[in-house]
Chain A
Amino acid sequence: MTTSVQTGTPTDPALGRAETILARWAPVASRPEPNRLDVPVPAEDVAQAAQALGRERWGYLAAITGLDHGPEADRLEALYHFCSGAAVLTLRALLPRHGGTVPSVAETFPLAMFFERELSEMFGVTVAGTPDPSRLFLPDDWPTGVYPLLKDVNPQAALAAQSETAPPRLQGKSDGDRFIVPIGPQHPALKEPGHFAFEVDGEVVKGASVRLGYVHRGIEKACEGQTWVQNLYLLERVCGICSHTHATCYALGVERLAGVEAPPRAQAIRVILGCLERIHSHLLWLGVAAHEAGFETLFMYSWRDRETIMDLLEQLSGNRVNYSCNVLGGVKFDISAEQAQAIRRALDFVEERTRHYLEVVSTDTLFLGRTQGIGVLSRQEAEYLGTVGPTARASGVPIDIRVTHPYAAYRAFPAEMVLDTAGDLTARFVVRMKEVFESGRVIRSILDNLPAGDLTVKMPRRIKPAETISRYEAPRGEVFYFLRSNGSDTPERVHIRTPSLCNWTSVLTKAVGAQLADVPLLLAGMDPCFSCNDRTVVITRPRRDPQVLSWEALRSAARQDRRR
């Protein structure tokens, strides 16, 4: 295990290098923020620019954001965000609002496969040459030609027109000679719905595919209709175990848009809660992964010990989940001396238990038999597939936003990266357990030197037009927010790219060739958070004429589906 401490990589050299690589388009480049470079690129040149960046190994593709400027401006932009350390480079491609085309960058950056699917289904942009043009988040029976994130979309009309036809069945793969084991949407292995189809020969997996979007709630679109303040609480509910992550990332971004910085005490409290969230998320993950492996006892004990942190969070914030600690401009509550003592005591207990769990997962022979040497992801593979978070750090990839691009109080109280080189399931367990210790250390160092001062700073209600990018290290990896304001009190665009979306390719690649019994652990090993994954699009009104099936009809329909 190696650690590295950095106080944020300097961005000028990286951005300068990027300008050299993209020399053809550099004259029109601009620096909207000190660490960002915007390079407008004609739509047809996007793949070339991406290839140039890939050849020179400049960073990784973080997200592809679609941005609709509205029917008056009559243009659309596709933003390709690349990150290298703290530097963020954005290729901006202008497109017509209808029928725009952009070449695929998935050859250089395999992760783009997911982002391009999202771009095309949400904005109607055709991505030429993308390996998989099927829907990512939208349901299969969503009407074609209706692109939810366009400003003037009218889904009600389309849904009304469509309600005449019967809902199509889920596109199952025809079996033929292949034996397909479906995991999800309903399956005891999954805590949230998702559909995985594993083609199996005996006990060995031969092929894997994933269908997401079952928990799609329309959050990105909903953000555009609510005020900045209200969105804070909507975004908190993107996910239950990383709720503080989303709220803080958003709050930091909005504060940057407004040109305001929250006071140091508030930033410190945000980080304390973020570290506590990381601890309880990793303990939750430990229990869930143990449950997937069939080790119920470890599941019971780790969740019992996690309750200490949950009770602590309730003491501090008033809620066990969705702490609502953030306001735009600071935090809502303070941490008193007694509460600080309570935190320290809780940390003592949890750290002692985590030491025991670390010993269990790294020395128990039978458990190692299930995890050691399984799902080995080499560093090159992890970097190529765009993996983020503890899954990547377990393969030795030094990616951790707290270290490379520190935010909030991480500048004053730096964190250390926890790395491992084995890249197998055991390494993923070990990295997460060690991160619990690291988070505990950060909390203690903050509590010992909690900065004095106010908890909030005044924030304007209307934010002047600007764009910003906010990045945060969630327990699962990098969360990437793109925020754009338009001078009103509602956002113009909120785009969220969550870490789980980046880690699917690694799981699917490793599942092929593994035993079927290893598949739940492989899925759990990347700590998937389906709620984080599926966010965009309006689905708020039920169908005009809901289908009413009699009991017999429903049962016979269910039996129909069972005929193989």
Chain B
Amino acid sequence: MTIPPIIHLLFFPGGLFMLALALAYEYVDRKVVARFQNRIGPRWFQPAADVLKLLIKEEVTPNVTHPVLFVALPVLALAGSLTAALSVPILGLNPALSFPGDLIVTVYLLSLVTMSMGLAGWNTNNRFSLIGATRSLTQVFCYEAPFMLALLGPAVVTGSWRITEILQTLDGQWIVFSQPIGFLVAVVGLMGKLEMPPFDAPKAKTEIVAGAMTEYSGRGLGLFHLGKIVEEVVGLSLLAALYLGGVSNPLAFFGKTLALLVVMAACHCLFTRLRIDQTVGVWWRYGTVLVLLQWIAVILWRVMTA
């Protein structure tokens, strides 16, 4: 059953439903992290209340280089992540927009969020946001490449660049067992793209206040935040769909993505923040090398069995 694209984009399972889902996932993330740290954590409506507060709060526009960009970039970020959700099987339903190569387009739409943040940081002309923007863009380039290559592992195995075709060909097969390195690289890459601790140097609170987001308040900050949490859900769904045996029904979807979220929350708690030169330096070398090794293994396998 394919839902008409416009409904998918605006209401279900993208659009408003996606926003609600993203808020719910943020609640789970914060609650799990809190329980890991022996705290109570927020109540179920906290993420919604936070976003609502931001959206109705007054926005102070600082003296920026391009005022239009200041207002437009948050919208762009949210638009990018919501559009990325169009091609991903949320809740196990068929994606509305499926075309050859939509895997690559989806990943790049996800990066649009971080790139908008980086550009917004440069735009606001504040010392902290300049440093934050530099770190943010450096990090996204560094984690983008291995992440993309890792996601293409299943693509190579199934011989297609289209998410629906990949899932059909895999038919419930758990690639994580045959490409464990690729899975590891994909998870770390996702954490780096999302700027989750320990890779949160671009928004290191104790060094550069809020990084690229320092001058944002009110609506702009709310939209960037929404863009970020939607990106998280889309990324989790992609990983679950491609590596963890597909998401054929809502139960499988929730089970697999939430399990992955718990694993990422554990990583969040266990490790200290890495310096930007450590995040980039280590991963740019090892991450890319690992995923290329994985690729070589996959290609050799295909050649030998073909």
Contacts and interface: CB of A to CB of B under 8 A. Distances in A.
A179, A300, A519, A555, most chain B CB atoms within 10 A: A300
A188 B206 contact: yes
A297 interface: yes
Contacts of B39: 300
A366 B207 contact: no
Given A301-B38, A562-B126, A564-B125, A366 B269 contact: no
B278 interface: yes
B209 interface: yes
B53 interface: no
Given A181-B128, A188-B205, A564-B125, A293 B273 contact: yes
Interface in B32-52: 36-39
Interface string B250-288: 000000000000000000011111111110000000000
A180 interface: yes
Contacts of A187: 209
Contact of A516 (B131, B198, B273, B274): B131
Given A180-B127, A188-B205, A189-B207, A297 B275 contact: no
Interface residues of B, number: 32
Interface string B199-212: 01100111111000
Contact of A562 (B38, B63, B209, B270): B63
B67 interface: no
B159 interface: no
Contact of A292 (B38, B206, B269, B277): B206
Given A517-B276, A559-B63, A296 B209 contact: no
Contacts of B273: 293-295, 370
A290 B206 CA distance: 11
B62 interface: yes
Nearest to B269: A297
A297 B37 contact: yes
B40 to A, nearest CB: 12
Interface string A498-520: 00000000000000000111111
Given A300-B39, A304-B38, A291 B206 contact: yes
Interface in B194-233: 197-198, 200-201, 204-209
A333 interface: no
Contacts of A301: 37-38
A496 B184 CA distance: 56
Nearest to A369: B278
B127 A294 contact: no
Nearest to B126: A562
B37 A517 contact: no
Contact of B206 (A179, A189, A562, A564): A189
Contact of B37 (A179, A189, A300, A562): A300
A366 B62 contact: no
Given A181-B131, A366-B271, A563-B63, A515 B197 contact: no
B272 A520 contact: no
A59 interface: no
Interface string A153-191: 000000000000000000000000001111000011100
B217 to A, nearest CB: 13
A296 B37 contact: yes
A300 B38 CA distance: 8
B218 to A, nearest CB: 14
14 contacts: A182-B127, A188-B206, A189-B205, A203-B276, A291-B206, A294-B273, A295-B271, A297-B36, A301-B37, A301-B38, A364-B272, A369-B275, A515-B277, A555-B60
3 shortest interchain CB distances as A-B pairs: A294-B273, A295-B272, A189-B206
Given A188-B209, A294-B272, A297-B36, 17 more contacts: A181-B127, A181-B131, A189-B207, A290-B272, A294-B200, A295-B272, A296-B197, A301-B38, A366-B198, A370-B272, A370-B275, A515-B277, A516-B208, A517-B275, A517-B276, A518-B275, A520-B206
